[in-house]
Structure 1
Amino acid sequence: MNLRTLRAFVEVVRQGGFSQAAEVVSLTQSSVSKAVKTLEDELGTPLLSRLGHKNELTAAGEIAYSRALVMLAEHNDLVAQINDLRGLKRGVLRIGLPPVGCGVVFATMFATYRSRYPDIDIELTEYGSKKLRECLDAGEVDLAALLLPIDEGFDYQPVRNEPLMAVLPIGHPLAARASIDFTDLADSPFILFEAGFALNAKILKACERKGVMPKITARSGQIDFIVDLVSAGLGVAFLPRMLAHKHQHAGIALIPLDEPHTDWHIALAWRASAHLPPAARAWLELAREPQRSTGHPD
């Protein structure tokens, strides 16, 4: 049993298939299949039930997957502690960011970090919140940007808090309102982000509290496309204020969302038990410095 085999197995589970996993671990699909088969032979039991194009974990697979995450995390902690001896002259910043909003929040930080620590390599991983938490658990990233509340077992440092805005077609009957809530929008179809984005859960829980059952008419991971769908009259969407202002144009109206517990409150999280290497600690220190301009109106 080796770490490369375990990593291939973990990514097959995480990505939902052999071809997707092969792209992540930079191997051929046949090599990934062989790695999983080798692991199954070594353990003497099937780990995946292959039904058509779908792969489901067996009972043994569930155990193997959870243990593989621990073993990979321990290996990465060992590497981080050894790298710690080198200080900030060399090393790697391994950070995970969700696709939504982090360009606006962190782009300037990346430039500043690079200028201060030119010999630190930056490994950026982009996933939705669910997969980012898995990457943290496995020690594949040292830090990840996640929405509050943060799961038990992680420490975190808050970075930015933004209220949500409702994004309406300019011709919507409520487009001139000073503020809006989910009761007002009960009859309007919703355009949400793809599954795995933590912002969806905040929106749906707030709807549940109001007794609203939204009709979801579309999902996308691309903010530009979501805004275009709103402008075309397909439904209403919800964006953090800074992103809403950045994507504002004549075809949409931005209305403050008057709903508690729906703020986009992003933080940098790490495993509470993990050894944070100097490169990651330097990033946290940079994030604590005064906020830089994000290019949206106050």
Structure 2
Amino acid sequence: MEFRPLRAFVEVVRQGGFSQAAKTLFATQPTVSKAVKQLEEEIGLPLLDRIGHRATLTAAGEVVYRRGVKLLAERDDLLAELAEIRGLKRGVLRLGLPPVGSSVLFAPLFALYARRYPGIEVRLVEHGSDQLEESLRAGDIDFAGMLVPTAEEFDYAVMRHEPLVALLPAAHPLAGRESISLAALRDTPFISFEAGFSLHRIILEASRRAGFEPDIVARTSQIDFMVELVGAGLGAAFLPRIVAEQRRNPALRLVPLDEPGTEWIMTMAWRRGAYLSAAAQAWLALVKETRGA
């Protein structure tokens, strides 16, 4: 099986269509369509069910996509390792970081790495944890900052344990408490992160364990906007203590969240058994050297 048609097929699925895949691959749409057709002929089964301008995965397509993502990641590992053997002088580190906590935990580490290894190009992407996990699984990045991963295919180093705090408007009747449970806030609207963020899932699952479905009045990926919404009296939000402390505001109060199963444990994760380039190994060594410092 050739990798070019497989990569074209994987990108069509990832990007949701042939035209977007063509842009990602720097190819024309007919070229991408031809490559996918070639792969289907080689396999002997249709991989996409084409309905008008939409294309959905067939049963065979789901198998080929799942396996293909891993094959392409392994191929990239092979090429990277061979490049190292040939005496690669300059490297590339591909990092995926979440918006929540990156400025506190990873910016100093990032700066230290750049000073130590000025010849290494750092390619940085920023997404919620769910998307970072998919990018890491696909081999698009070397490391991802994410909450403790549940998949056994990842190894990780714990960077920080932090409790969550509730951000309440200063005028909220419970803003003076020393700590608060989610059940006590069941009648308060919640301001949440987008669905792709682990904190959204943590709060949603904990609320359901407490016996209620939260009234989410706003979703955002921007911490500062979330804080402003709380300060304007729209509702309550939840952040790791280390992040919330940086955003104290006279219009809001920080109240420790007393709720089991809501601790924020940030890790630096990588694919178990994956090849790590010299640049990636240097990053991992720095993570282990400085974590908890």
Moved more, 28-37 or 5-14: 28-37
**Secondary structure of 1:7 counterpart:** helix
Alignment match, 1:275: 275
Question: Structure 2 counterpart of 1:162, which letter?
Answer: E
TM-score of the aligned structures, taking structure 1 as reference length: 0.86
**Secondary structure of 1:288 counterpart:** helix
Question: Structure 1 counterpart of 2:248, which letter?
Answer: Q
Query: 1:60-75 alignment to 2 at 5 Å?
Result: 60-75=60-75
Alignment match, 2:124: 124
Contact 1:108/1:292 (8 A) holds in 2:
no
Q: CA RMSD in A?
A: 2.7
Runs (5+) with no aligned partner, structure 1? 294-298
Alignment match, 1:253: 253
- The verdict on how the C-alpha distance between 1:87 and 1:105 changes in structure 2, with shifts beyond 3 A counting, is farther
Q: Deviations over 1:252-291 (max 9, x none)?
A: 2111111122111111111112112221121112122345
Alignment match, 1:289: 289
What is the identity percentage for the equivalent residue pairs of Structure 1 and Structure 2?
56
Contact 1:128/1:197 (8 A) holds in 2:
yes
Alignment match, 2:217: 217
1:187 aligns with 2:194: no
Alpha-carbon deviation of 1:113? 0.8
Contact 2:158/2:291 (8 A) holds in 1:
no
Runs (5+) with no aligned partner, structure 2? none
Alignment match, 2:90: 90
Alpha-carbon deviation of 1:99? 2.4
Contact 1:22/1:28 (8 A) holds in 2:
yes
Alpha-carbon deviation of 1:73? 1.2
Q: Deviations over 1:215-273 (max 9, x none)?
A: 12221111122122222222211111121122222222111111122111111111112
Moved more, 87-96 or 130-139: 87-96
Q: Deviations over 1:92-145 (max 9, x none)?
A: 111211222223211111111111111111122222222222222222212111
Query: 1:87-166 alignment to 2 at 5 Å?
Result: 89-166=89-166
Alignment match, 1:201: 201
**Secondary structure of 1:192 counterpart:** strand
Q: Deviations over 1:40-81 (max 9, x none)?
A: 455454433456776532212201211211211111210232
How many residues are treated as equivalent by the alignment? 293
**Secondary structure of 1:254 counterpart:** strand
- The verdict on how the C-alpha distance between 1:43 and 1:290 changes in structure 2, with shifts beyond 3 A counting, is closer
> C-alpha distance in 2, partners of 1:124/1:2?
30
**Secondary structure of 1:166 counterpart:** strand
- The verdict on how the C-alpha distance between 1:261 and 1:13 changes in structure 2, with shifts beyond 3 A counting, is same
Contact 2:164/2:263 (8 A) holds in 1:
yes
Alignment match, 1:264: 264
- The verdict on how the C-alpha distance between 1:47 and 1:265 changes in structure 2, with shifts beyond 3 A counting, is same
